[in-house]
Amino acid sequence: MQILNFAHPFTEAQFAGLEALAGMKITGVTDISSQIDPDKAIEPQIEAMLDRAGLNPQDWQTKPLLINLPSLNYSAAVLLAQLHGRTGYFPPVLRLRPVTGGIAPRFETAEILNLQAMRERAREKR
């Protein structure tokens, strides 16, 4: 599974937790800066971010991907729309949670959110 990381770099502990949660080997992590210019249109900036992943159309549609979303809410929303367009489905995303009791802020892997399965369940409520 390839991780596209639009947030902070992963620690070794987070990486180990990811493999345990995913139940498969992580084949690589592509760190992509999610910094945007708030004075410019967001869509072309997000398109450029995804282009920096270095994936071709076949890769987008066939490689198993796990997404670590950017923290900025509207960047994450546009990123998900763009990802759905490129992959044909909502890819799974990672959720981290804070570790309590430490002096410095730390985060651990909490769960992998299967957005496509969530979407399909939500369709039953139409």
**pLDDT tens by residue, 12-50:** 888 888 888 888 889 999 999 999 999 999 999 999 999
Instruction: Give this prediction's pTM.
Output: 0.91
Choose among 37, 43, 32: nearest CA to 6.
Answer: 32
pLDDT of residue 83: 98
* Number of domains forming the structure of the chain: 1
Residue 105 has pLDDT above 90, yes or no: no
pLDDT greater at residue 103 or residue 80: 80
**Amino acid letter at 46?**
I
Choose among 1, 4, 6, 14: nearest CA to 106.
Answer: 14
CA angle at 62 for the pair 56 and 68, rounded to the nearest 5°: 80
CB half-sphere exposure, 117, CA atoms < 13 A: 5
Quickly state the pLDDT bin for 66 (edges 50, 70, 90): very high
Domain range for residue 52? 2-123
Measure the CA–CA gap between 11 and 118, rounded to whole angstroms.
28
Residue 102 has pLDDT above 80, yes or no: no
Measure the CA–CA gap between 60 and 84, rounded to whole angstroms.
10
